[in-house]
Amino acid sequence: MKITCCIHSLSGGGAERVMAGLANDLFCRGHDVSLVTYFADDARSLSIEPGVLRACLNLDVTGQTENRTSPRSGIDRIRQIRSRITTLAKVIERQSPDVVLSFCDRMNLDVLLALRGRGLPVMVCERSDPASQGLGLVWNWMRSRLYRQATTVVALTPTAKDYLRRFSNHVIVIPSAIKTPTSYSNREIACANRTIVAAGRLESEKGFDRLIAAFARATQGHPDWKLVLYGDGSLRRQLQRQATELGINDRFEMPGWVRPLQPHLAEATIFCLSSHYEGFPSVLLESMSLGVPSISVDCESGPREIIDHGRNAWLVENETPALAAGIRYLIDHAETRESLGHHGREIIERFGWDKMVDRYETALARISSSTADAPSGANRTERPPGV
């Protein structure tokens, strides 16, 4: 197949890691793969196989080029959105794909707008909880209309599928997955570190403010424990200020984004997921696969599909006091904690990477073949060497 993959960027969290890995593996399985992003690659970007054609449009989410000022009026914003959609349509058409795969809500809508009436099969994938991830009044309305045009909509969990079925009759579930690690957490070293680790964008939905509050409460009698947050975002200063106000500044670190993340997760005594909502948290899968004892709030979508409470990880109510109590329990009960880490490694059997790629490949092949004889694909031209 000739597959065009679309995502906003290759820098950031779980969705970007899955898309990069998926594009690489589909290419290695013999498919002709291109990958379109709005943002150009930078030092934080994930690596892509040399044979995957890259198209970086250098646009932000409002459609403006990197060097332009922000739009001053609604008319300017509409013009910029139209410009973005037009550019995206031209790039995808020049690549002449058999099928298009798009990740993340706003990118999905742009792709569907760009390809309206063009006869190309499109698979769009929600990478968060669509019931909680609001796009604003206009874009929420657009999602309810445009998703009906997608050939297939992919949800991460059955709960998300139930929500998306109001927009589409063609919703399937493909959970995220994790590759088998090449090594595991050295628990003797990790336990001695007395470190709780979390990772993700420093934005409100990740709940890092309540993690900081829970950590401060849980470690009142354990001043030798520290908290490390990997990631970056708009709340960095606010979170740093909160840690200072709670008196834990000397036990709190925010190193930013690191690549690869796995070695840093492996050094954690405990991994913690504090999100208000999730899609299917890859970082939780990754920490469990390494044998790191993990605790998560029972937020909407994701963690409850992954965690068997008390066996492979610890699941607590979706509130700060419960998270603090859970952290304190795992600090005080090392034997239970390490048993969770041991059984957490079994997560690979349920959510192995190759199984996920198989499911995407099968679904893409099915929708591609269903439109193989359509007029829009009858006289496709060879795509250019680059964009």
Domain holding 267: CATH number? Answer: 3.40.50.2000
12 vs 239 pLDDT, higher one = 239
Residue 128 in domain:
yes
Q: Are residues 214 and 292 in the same domain?
A: yes
Banded pLDDT at 386 (limits 50, 70, 90): very low
Q: Please give the Cα distance from 210 to 275 (Å, whole number).
A: 9
Same domain, 196 and 319: yes
Residue 201, amino acid: R
- Residue 182 domain flag: no
Residue 269 has pLDDT above 60, yes or no: yes
Give mean pLDDT, residues 73-100: 89
Residue 169: in which H helix or E strand, if any? none
Q: Give me the mean pLDDT over the 275-288 stretch.
A: 93
pLDDT band at 331 (very low <50, low <70, confident <90, very high): very high
* 251 domain residue, yes or no: yes
Q: Are residues 279 and 299 in the same domain?
A: yes
* CA pair distance 197, 339, nearest whole angstrom: 18
Question: What is the predicted pLDDT for the residue at 301?
Answer: 78
H/E stretch holding 308 reads: none
Examine the domain organization and report whether 273 and 164 are in the same domain. no
The verdict on residue 383 lying in a domain is no
The reply to whether 219 falls in a domain is yes
Q: Which of 307-321, 327-341, 370-384 has the lowest mean pLDDT?
A: 370-384
- Identify whether residues 274 and 302 lie together within a single domain: yes
Strand partners, 173: 155
Predicted confidence band of residue 73 (pLDDT cuts 50, 70, 90): low
DSSP 229: E
Give residue 371's pLDDT. Answer: 66
In the chain, what percentage of residues exceed pLDDT 70? Answer: 91
The answer on pLDDT for 24 being more than 90 is yes
Same domain, residue pair 79 and 52? yes
Provide the pLDDT confidence category of residue 328 given band limits of 50, 70 and 90: very high
pTM: 0.84
**Sheet containing 270-273: order of strands:** 252-256, 226-230, 195-199, 270-273, 294-297, 314-316
Q: For residue 148, give the DSSP letter.
A: G
Strand runs labelled E in 149-225: 152-155, 171-173, 195-199
pLDDT of 14 reads 83
One domain for residues 371 and 341:
no
Q: Which pLDDT score is estimated for 81?
A: 85
Mean pLDDT value across the chain: 90
Number of domain units in the chain: 2
d(CA 381, CA 386): 14
Query: Mean pLDDT throughout 110-126?
Result: 94
Residue 385 included in any domain: no
Q: How confident is the model at residue 375 (pLDDT cuts 50, 70, 90)?
A: very low
Compare 206 and 387 and report the one with higher pLDDT: 206
Domain assignment of residue 384, yes or no: no
Closest CA to 175 of 294, 281, 287: 281
Same domain, 136 and 246: no
11 with 158, same domain: the answer is: yes
Model pLDDT, residue 13: 76
List the domain range (segments joined by +) for residue 214.
187-349
334 vs 219: CA distance, rounded Å: 15
Is there a contact between 276 and 318 (Cβ–Cβ < 8 Å)?
Answer: yes
Furthest C-alpha separation in the chain: 71
Q: Does 169 fall in a domain?
A: yes
Number of residues in the chain: 387
Is the same domain home to 289 and 323? yes
At residue 27, the pLDDT reads: 98
Indicate if 312 and 293 belong to the same structural domain: yes
256, 299: one domain: yes
